[in-house]
Amino acid sequence: MTDGSTPPKTNSSDPEELVGSLTLEEKAALTSGADFWNTVGVERAGIPPILLTDGPHGVRKQVAAGDHLGLADSVPATCFPPAVALGSTFDPELVERVGVALGEEARAESVAVLLGPGINIKRSVLCGRNFEYLSEDPAVSGILGSALVRGLQSTGVSASLKHFAANNQETDRLRVSADIDERPLREIYLRAFQRVVVGEQPATVMCSYNRINGVYSSENEWLLGQVLRGEWGFEGLVVSDWGAVNDRVAGIAAGLDLEMPSSGGAGPAKLVAAVRSGALEEAVVDRAAARVVRLVQRAERLAGTGWDYDRDAHHRLAREVASRSIVLLKNEDDVLPLAQESRIAVIGEFARTPRYQGAGSSLINPTRLDNALDALREQLGAERVAFAPGFSIETAGGDDADALRAEAAAAASAADTAVVFLGLPASEESEGFDRETIGLPDDQLAVLDAVVAANPRTVVVLSNGGVVQLAPFADRVPAILEGWLLGQAGGSATADVLTGRTSPSGRLAETIPFRLEDTPAYLGFPGESGHVRYGEGLFVGYRWYDARDADVQYPFGHGLNYTTFDYRDLSAVATEDGILVRLTVTNTGPRAAHEVVQVYTSLPSSTVSRARRELTAFASVLIEPGESREIELRVRREDLAYWDIRTNGWVVEPGAYTVEVGASSRDLRLRAIVEVAGDAVRVPLTLDSTIGEVLRDPVASTLIQQTMQQSVGSDTIASILSDPGMLRMMESFPIGRIAGFPGTGFTEEQIAGLIAAANAPQATL
């Protein structure tokens, strides 16, 4: 430690050495923000501050006042489709390109860290921030989250993977304890994070506001130390979500390196006091400060290089991605694409005033903004496209509601096809609070009724960040496009799909249920008294509906094209790394399009509770009309594993795995069975192991048989083993409890000896 009055006695760029030359106060200061978005610099040591900004689907760099709620303005940046749309592309290459573009914009604005992507699982359809997350499924979230981080970090800009972890609701988000059993925690909520961290090493991870099983993420040694760094090998820096720090001293000890935003010096002062009083080792502060320095050095490699980006090219990319995100849910009688010569009535204010992103910290100030009405007029000819707003978005049911509805019906009846833009008002879904229903506003549904009555050839186009209920009209309209929130070029992308310039290829990364009451977390969301219990366990999203054989409005993975695909010649082969899946897909229709081929695996003979099927691989493949493509997909061995709470580790069970391949989780076209060798993991036996467990353990059961042959008078055991009814009844008896029972012939010592012998490392089969 030095007194700080002189330049540090090192020219080293080694972060540890550099930190070693700083005063305790300087080191502590480095671990906290200077203001809302900048870190603290130490000028005499040549450590500059760096800038962090939101994220995730654009660069929100604020120049005047700072805030983390999207209130004050930011510099213009491309508003790419938010995560809800990216998730629907099922296309890692496309998402990686978005990552690169985000990096270029961040670099041009001297942003060192872009705060994203957010990869929390959509546990409940009501989460107000679902628009900022990718999927209800960990494979989609993990694979696309990895792609985004890969693209972003390839430009030298650092990612911040968030919100780690189990931040699945907005209600009480700064305090609530997400109470989750270890299996769903590992297999659903942490799995995507694990994949991105292990595969991509994001430079930073942002810890969440909430508690997990009672402990704040910001001071959770298990989460930040044992799991993130210990098990997954994370080498970067952990930053707090803005204001997530509860106890700064406990936090830094647990592995929270950087507190954001500034705490006005309070955080660093607490660290200094704790070190001085002996409550905290100085080495812990050094460790965090060195990680900050390493992050600063990463950013310095980009400094002063005069970066810029091509705004038009980024707008075009935003349009391409948006058009690939739109999900064609229904298209009876080929109502879509719209015939070139037809007369169209465009109805709904959203066509003119698009809803293209969600509210809160991710709010981007776009460089441009397309709307679908202008784009349709441009593509089809203004004279063929009539417009009626139908309703006003934020003031439902105003005085003019009847007149607007009548005007819409009249426009519809004068057209060949009506295209009705419905959606959620911005005020209904946002960071900071959850939704209360999944219904569309009543006034919009009333307009739709009037339009359908006037012209049954009606197409519905939806703008919504979270799932909405379609049941009130899904059977009464021939076509539905789920447009989510599509970013600044969403309007023209929607027109591209409606007119057939692009064949839609988006797939649902989340199930659309019939009713809110059908959803997995319905009875356990958003919790009460500071706790939310994840009672549905592993059965999140489609895993829930499949396990209950429940019908849904549209299943996970669903989405139509303007063409058709044929699947054949499936082969599935077990390899050392998992399962190699091959098949041939032919485009049997008239247009080139992307097909999203989905692979689901399951182990019907599993000894633990498992989902009926889980998505373990997918590919989005462009196929020309008449073309057949041989497609190869790899199911990673680790994705066949479950988390075993007895051995505290991942286990691949041996057995015949079912491999199903198809176009959605409920449109499975091909099936194969493949035998997979299990991991050499044995659950250690104890005196508490049941007779059933002991007998199922091959080593122990052989030992028992041998012991019985040698000993006289083990009548009880013998009769249990030879009588299936008796065996079933006694199966659940802990073996230690029957020691000494009359007639067993086994003493407690003998049973303990047998267990020890069975557990011995050399005891193999």
Q: Catalytic positions, please?
A: 241
* Structure-token pair, residue 564: 């058709």
* Pick 158 or 361: Cβ nearer ligand BGC: 361
Contact 459, 480 (CB under 8 A): yes
> What is the number of the residue whose Cβ is closest to ligand BGC?
68
Burial 723-746 (b: 16+ CB within 10 A, else e): eeeeeeebeeeebbebbeeeebbb
* Pick 54 or 510: Cβ nearer ligand BGC: 54
Distance CA 667, CA 182 (A): 31
- Residue 581 Cα distances to 209, 530, 657, angstroms: 40, 45, 12
* Pick 83 or 345: Cβ nearer ligand BGC: 83
* Structure-token pair, residue 635: 């199911």
CA-wise closest residue to 220 among 166, 172, 160, 276: 166
The yes or no reply on residue 54 touching ligand BGC (CB under 6 A) is yes
Q: How far is the CB of 170 from ligand BGC (least distance, A)?
A: 9
Q: CA 382: distance to chain centroid?
A: 41
- DSSP letter at 159? E
Distance CA 115, CA 249 (A): 24
- DSSP letter at 580? E
The yes or no reply on residue 361 touching ligand BGC (CB under 6 A) is yes
- Residue 197 Cα distances to 116, 150, 647, angstroms: 13, 11, 23
* Pick 83 or 289: Cβ nearer ligand BGC: 83
Q: How far is the CB of 54 from ligand BGC (least distance, A)?
A: 5
Among 29, 47, 114, 115, binds ligand BGC (CB under 6 A): 115
Q: How far is the CB of 162 from ligand BGC (least distance, A)?
A: 6
- Residue 158 Cα distances to 204, 302, 468, angstroms: 7, 11, 34
* Pick 132 or 639: Cβ nearer ligand BGC: 132
**How many binding residues for ligand BGC (CB under 6 A)?**
8
Q: How far is the CB of 361 from ligand BGC (least distance, A)?
A: 3
Residues 152-211 that bind ligand BGC (CB under 6 A): 162
- DSSP letter at 417? E
- DSSP letter at 426? G
Q: How far is the CB of 249 from ligand BGC (least distance, A)?
A: 23
Among 90, 242, 350, 554, binds ligand BGC (CB under 6 A): 242
* Pick 241 or 595: Cβ nearer ligand BGC: 241
Give 596's strand partners.
Answer: 620
Distance CA 593, CA 86 (A): 17
Q: How far is the CB of 68 from ligand BGC (least distance, A)?
A: 3
* Pick 361 or 463: Cβ nearer ligand BGC: 361
The yes or no reply on residue 133 touching ligand BGC (CB under 6 A) is no
Q: How far is the CB of 205 from ligand BGC (least distance, A)?
A: 12
Give 204's strand partners.
Answer: 160, 237
Residues 504-563 that bind ligand BGC (CB under 6 A): none
Contact 261, 239 (CB under 8 A): no
Distance CA 572, CA 582 (A): 6
**Residue ranges in contact with ligand BGC by CB under 6 A:** 54-55, 68, 115, 162, 241-242, 361
